[in-house]
Amino acid sequence: MMTISWYMKGILVLLKKDLQDAFNSPFIYIIASLFALIIGWLFFNYVIAAKDLTSLNITNAVLAPVFGNINLFFIFLSPMLTMGLLTQERKNHTLELLLLSKLNLSQIVLAKFLAGIGMAWFLLLLTVIFPAMIWLTGHGDIGMMISTYVGFSFTLMCFISVGLFASSLTDNPIVAAFMGFAFLMLVMLLAVSLNATNNWMLGEIAQYLSIAYHFEAFVRGEIRSYDVVYFLSFTGFFLWLTRESLETRKW
């Protein structure tokens, strides 16, 4: 009978391998450098554009738009981080070897998901310096900063789960990246199109489907169970789709 310790050990072994592969490659460092430079440039431009450095103005005119841009960039970056997690296993025929090693599909999916989260958090941590600089000057709301990074954790879970699902559908990493981006844009456009209607019920559905809507609550300093349930449900659904995709293509 499978024990929890054995189950977690299998996940951790594969997770360690995937993270080592990722951080032994120059790709993630190139992406990280470009990401940090762009966010840094945006941050300093927002600071310069701010007319006065009161805490309220810093929050509304600097931090909120910077956080929004970070979230937007991860829509593009997440599929790039996940594009090789499953495509390479299929291309190199190592997925079958993983299954023969007594790992089950759920363990493989969770390990790959956590590897994607690890890479995404590596990029996200590069941005902590910007709100930290604001806080050290005596401005900004530390509660809002913390809640926003909690929100980032949840949105990254959604983005990575979608990217991982796309990676399970093809053997080509580039195709997987485009598919992941397309899926995320489809979710966003669906929410926007439904919200544009005059139907109240469709508007409510659009609001609930919108990742941005749920993230904005965290940027306001609010951590609501309503939003947490949405993010966990969204992530769980796409992880389940990934497992089912691998199951149908396993043989």
Q: What percent of the chain has pLDDT over 90?
A: 51
pTM: 0.91
Structure-token pair, residue 69: 């841009």
Reported confidence tier of residue 250, pLDDT bands at 50, 70, 90: low
Residues belonging to the chain: 251
Residue-wise pLDDT for 119-140, tens only, equals: 999 999 999 999 898 888 777 7
Judge contact between 58 and 50, C-beta under 8 A.
Answer: yes
Contacting residues for 188 by C-beta, under 8 A, at least 6 apart: 75, 210, 211, 212
Residue-wise pLDDT for 193-234, tens only, equals: 666 667 777 777 777 888 888 898 899 888 899 999 999 999
**pLDDT at residue 30 in the model:** 96
Helix, strand, coil percentages (3-state) for the chain, rounded to 5, are 80, 0, 20
Residue-wise pLDDT for 1-59, tens only, equals: 457 777 788 889 899 999 999 999 999 999 999 999 999 999 998 888 876 666 556 77
Burial of 160 (0-12, 13-18, 19+ CB in 10 A): buried
**Distance, CA of 181 to CA of 178 (rounded, Å):** 5
Average pLDDT over every residue of 65-92:
90
**pLDDT at residue 1 in the model:** 46
Residue-wise pLDDT for 59-73, tens only, equals: 777 888 999 999 999
